[in-house]
Amino acid sequence: MKSIAITVFIVLLIGVVGLYLISFQVRETESALVMTFNKPTREITEPGWYFKWPAPIQRVNKFDSRGQVVEGDLVETTTKGAVPIIVNTYVVWTISEPLQFYNSNERGSIEEARKRLRSQINDTQNRVIGLHEFAEFVNSDPSKIKMAQIESEMFADLRRAVRDAGYGIEIKTLGIKQLKISKDVSEDVFKRMRSERNRRTVAIIEDGNSVANRIRSEADAKKTELLAAAEARAKAIRGEGDAEAAKYYEMLQENPELAMFLRNTEALKETLKNKTTLVIPADVPPFDLLKGMPDIRVLEPNELKK
Amino acid sequence: MTEQNQEYDLQPQEPQGRSGDELDAAGRSLSEALRISFVILKVIMIVLVLVFLASGFRTVGSDERALVLRLGKIRGVLEPGPHWVFPYPIEEIVRIPVAKRLSLPIDSFWYFLRPDEMLPQGPKTRIRVEPTLDPTRDGYCITRSEKQSETGFGASGSDYNIVHGKWQLIYQIDDATRFFKNVYVEDVKPGQDYFNVITKSITPLLQAVFEDAVVTAMVNYTIDEAISNRARIPEHVKKLLQEKLDTIESGIRVVSVLTNNTWPRQVDQAFQASVAATQASQQAVSEARTYAEKTLSEAAGPVAEELFAVLKGKTVSRQDEEFLWDSLAGEGREKIAQARAYKTGVVESARANAEYLKKILPEYNKRPKLVMQRIYLDAIESVLNNAYEKFVIQPVENSKGAEIRVLVNRDPTIKRQSEEQ
């Protein structure tokens, strides 16, 4: 009983230690090369559990299979129209074939691979940008801008170059991360920006004034029209009044002479109502009274009958 | 752990080998000791097995997910909460922070600041600005020119402007599996926080992809669109960035992109002038609007615009139109009110006259002369009572050509009244 337990235990122990020596794991983020006497003999790109001969016969060399970034140099290149332009390109790359990577990059040195990749990027950059006009990078007409196309051309070019060189590297994506111009050109750009802005300033002021003037004159025109309409309406109301008053004039027809007389006296009173200076001869009534007692004749009864 | 086990294995084996050669008492005590040590060994073994199994218990925090790797392969994703996995080396877990929103500021499109410029500047210190931008030091974006300038001197259509921008990216790890498989993260060393290691490791990648998106997007906009910081530009950048991140299957989701763009310091004066001009012209327009409102309000009150529309042919019901005229205010209302007053006056006076005539007609028919005389004298009296100054003159008989002169003081108010009208 005791000895069985101990035996099982020892067997387990030896098993565990043995497994450590003759097997290894490749994680999801890795790929591996099995090296037999320091020569790569087996390439593993799938994660899982693998067996090998114990060291020093076989060793395992692991590579990170995740995406890494590398940037080209910030260098001046020229476009098709010989316009200088400064472009900085980056790529995201992975080690896709560990064996090739090991063989072509100084025994799988990441640093070496980055160096080579960088020079490939610079080559691609010069080659592809030289095929395009500057106007395809920046254009006042957005439909003529071909940044995306240039990026994808560079991507294809670099992919092909890297594949042909057999680096065991796969380029996942490529992009232009800086687009600049040389120092001297920047001064010219500022000059142009300044004059452009000054021109715009003038235009803004003119625009503002013309809009303001239009608003004012529109308001004035509206006012005139509104008042004209109101005046027309007022005239109509006056007309109504005159028409209504005319109905009463008909009643005056019964005695036009008296009506006219009343109208005149009324007018006289009305017109001389305010602050009038009157110069009147003394021989009109009632001022004739000032000259003396009037000659009053008492009416005879027979005259009354008449 | 393994070394410990080996020690316990060796100890009991040694006395076992010699047991037969000893005395019974000694043998018994020895076997007793052996038995005890064996029990201890069993207990230790059980404890070790329990500890080994217990090491498989893991807790996943609420803001993270954990990937379970069985012999290197992804077996599944653990949700927040307690879990049991096979202990190392059979299975292991990798924690990925998924719920946290992370922010990454990007200053590589901003101009270079000398250390002394970064210090807070007093109002009097003037910064000397280089007339040029050094492409190796200063960051900026290139934006396209206005379309209209194509017709001007820049015939090639490749005129461009320079703009500086500060950007900020807010992102989140969305897909833990993809992130783990495809994005390079440094190994977490003891004592390091895995979260800090992850954010630090992915910064170069995010920075590169983000700058790419910014450069690609910005050439599509003019400098005016850029400096007015419209939401359209960050949205565009966000879209490009997300596309790129999806291409490399990064499992990273862009939450938002923030930006603040400005014109280069070298052209500050011209741009400031332009801003001032914009404000001035907005001011002029708003003043004109105020004037327009005031003018219309004085002319017709609040219904001015509506009434004007009706005048210009807008069809409304008769009732509505009348309502508008009734709500009229200002000068227009005054005109109509005057007309109404005139109407009332003229009708009333006509009616009064007619009624008066009707009343006195019977009397007049009886004694026309007397009635007329009375009315006449009434009128004269009323006139004379109202007269301001009166002069009664005695005409001289046979005085043809004689004249009298009266100095009349004109009343100054009369003149003023007539002028006002």
Considering the domain architecture, whether residues B200 and B68 belong to the same structural domain is answered as: no
Number of other CB atoms surrounding residue A200 within 10 Å: 19
Considering the domain architecture, whether residues B109 and B224 belong to the same structural domain is answered as: yes
Task: Give the residues across from B84 on adjacent strands.
Answer: B57
| Domain CATH for B154 | 3.30.479.30
Residue corresponding to tokens 């008989």? B397
Question: Which residues of B are less than 8 Å from A10 in CB distance?
Answer: 9
pLDDT at B1: 40
For residue A67, give the DSSP letter. Answer: B
Per-residue pLDDT band at A81 (split at 50, 70, 90): confident
Mutate: best of B265, B326, B380, partner A, most A CBs <10 A: B380
Task: Give the residues across from A30 on adjacent strands.
Answer: A64
Q: Is the pLDDT of residue A10 over 90?
A: no
Helix B194-218 crosses helix A147-165 at what angle (to 10 degrees)? 120
pLDDT tens for A225-242 read 888 988 998 999 999 999
Put simply, the answer to whether B307 touches A182 (Cβ < 8 Å) is no
pLDDT at B411: 62
Per-residue pLDDT band at B41 (split at 50, 70, 90): confident
Contact partners, residue A196, CB within 8 Å, separation at least 6: B145, B146, B149, B161
Mean pLDDT of B60-77: 89
Considering the domain architecture, whether residues B89 and B222 belong to the same structural domain is answered as: no
pLDDT at A277: 75
Q: pLDDT higher for A168 or B123?
A: A168
pLDDT at A249: 79
When CB atoms are compared, the residue of A74, A281, A285 closest to B136 is: A74
Query: Is residue A110 classed as helix, strand or coil in its secondary structure?
Result: helix
- Cα separation, B239 vs B255, whole angstroms: 11
Provide the residue range defining the domain that includes B70. 57-95
Number of other CB atoms surrounding residue A276 within 10 Å: 15
- Cα separation, A248 vs B351, whole angstroms: 6
Contact partners, residue B68, CB within 8 Å, separation at least 6: B74, B75, B76, B77, B78, B85, B91, B92, B93
| Domain boundary pick from B218, B241, B263 | B263
In the stretch 182-241 of chain A, residues with CB closer than 8 A to chain B read 182-184, 186-187, 189-190, 192-194, 196-198, 200-201, 204-205, 207-209, 211-213, 215-216, 218-220, 222-223, 225-227, 229-231, 233-238, 240-241
Q: Does residue B106 lie within any of the structural domains?
A: yes
Considering the domain architecture, whether residues B192 and B204 belong to the same structural domain is answered as: yes
CA angle B2, B5, B11 (to 5 degrees): 145
- Cα separation, B165 vs B185, whole angstroms: 29
CA distances from A155 to A121, B218, B239 (A): 9, 21, 20
Considering the domain architecture, whether residues B65 and B107 belong to the same structural domain is answered as: no
Per-residue pLDDT band at B398 (split at 50, 70, 90): low
Which region, left, alpha or beta, applies to residue A106 given φ > 0 means left and ψ of -120 to 50 means alpha? left
Asked if residue B185 lies in contact with residue B201, where contact means CB atoms within 8 angstroms, the answer is yes
Q: How many domains does chain B have?
A: 3
Q: pLDDT higher for A200 or B388?
A: A200
Contact partners, residue A144, CB within 8 Å, separation at least 6: A135, A136, B157
pLDDT at A118: 93
pLDDT tens for B290-316 read 999 998 888 888 888 888 888 887 788
Q: Does residue B316 lie within any of the structural domains?
A: no
> What is the ipTM score, two decimals?
0.75
| Domain boundary pick from B241, B263, B285 | B263
Q: Does residue B290 lie within any of the structural domains?
A: no
Considering the domain architecture, whether residues B62 and B109 belong to the same structural domain is answered as: no
Considering the domain architecture, whether residues B65 and B174 belong to the same structural domain is answered as: no
| Amino acid occupying residue B189 | K
CA angle B183, B186, B187 (to 5 degrees): 120
pLDDT tens for B368-378 read 888 888 888 88
Asked if residue B330 lies in contact with residue B302, where contact means CB atoms within 8 angstroms, the answer is no
Q: Does residue B175 lie within any of the structural domains?
A: yes
Considering the domain architecture, whether residues B243 and B111 belong to the same structural domain is answered as: yes
Q: Is the pLDDT of residue A286 over 60?
A: yes
Q: Does residue B391 lie within any of the structural domains?
A: yes
Considering the domain architecture, whether residues B148 and B90 belong to the same structural domain is answered as: no
Rounded to 5 degrees, φ, ψ at B405 are -120, 130
pLDDT mean across residues, chain A: 86
Per-residue pLDDT band at B317 (split at 50, 70, 90): confident
pLDDT at B194: 87
| Domain boundary pick from B225, B240, B263 | B263
Q: Is the pLDDT of residue A5 over 80?
A: no
Q: Does residue B31 lie within any of the structural domains?
A: no
pLDDT tens for B235-270 read 999 999 999 999 999 999 999 999 999 999 889 999
For residue B86, give the DSSP letter. Answer: P
Considering the domain architecture, whether residues B172 and B251 belong to the same structural domain is answered as: yes
Considering the domain architecture, whether residues B83 and B187 belong to the same structural domain is answered as: no
Considering the domain architecture, whether residues B89 and B198 belong to the same structural domain is answered as: no
- Percent of chain B residues topping a pLDDT of 90: 28
For residue B222, give the DSSP letter. Answer: B
